[in-house]
């Protein structure tokens, strides 16, 4: 997926306030995180970190994680 397609996807996406990305990762303040990562993507994302996080958020929206959390001690 190209950068323009990722940006277009998030323009119309209904974003929750908290989103479970995987077993070990929860993204808080999803809307702010998406805006921050889109801005970094537009400025030239060196290393692909913003693109990777946006892809993780998109996948979590489309396929919510429903497995167990990491056990706490």
Domain limits of the chain? Answer: 3-62
Query: Cα dihedral angle (49, 70, 72, 31), rounded to 10 degrees?
Result: 40
Interatomic CA distance for residues 21 and 6, integer angstroms: 17
Instruction: Please check the confidence at residue 70 and state whether its pLDDT lies above 90.
Output: no
Indicate the pLDDT class of residue 35, thresholds 50, 70 and 90: very high
Percent of the chain's residues with pLDDT above 70: 100
Interatomic CA distance for residues 56 and 72, integer angstroms: 24
Residues 6+ apart with CB under 8 A from 45: 3, 51
Interatomic CA distance for residues 52 and 21, integer angstroms: 12
- The whole-model pTM stands at 0.89
């Amino acid at each position: 997926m190209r950068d323009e397609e990722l940006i277009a996807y998030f323009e119309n996406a209904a974003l929750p306030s908290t989103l479970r990305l995987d077993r070990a990762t929860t993204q808080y303040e999803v809307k702010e995180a998406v805006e921050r990562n889109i801005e970094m993507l537009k400025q030239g994302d060196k290393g692909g970190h913003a693109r990777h996080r946006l892809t993780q958020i998109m996948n979590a929206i489309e396929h919510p994680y429903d497995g167990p959390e990491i056990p706490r001690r």
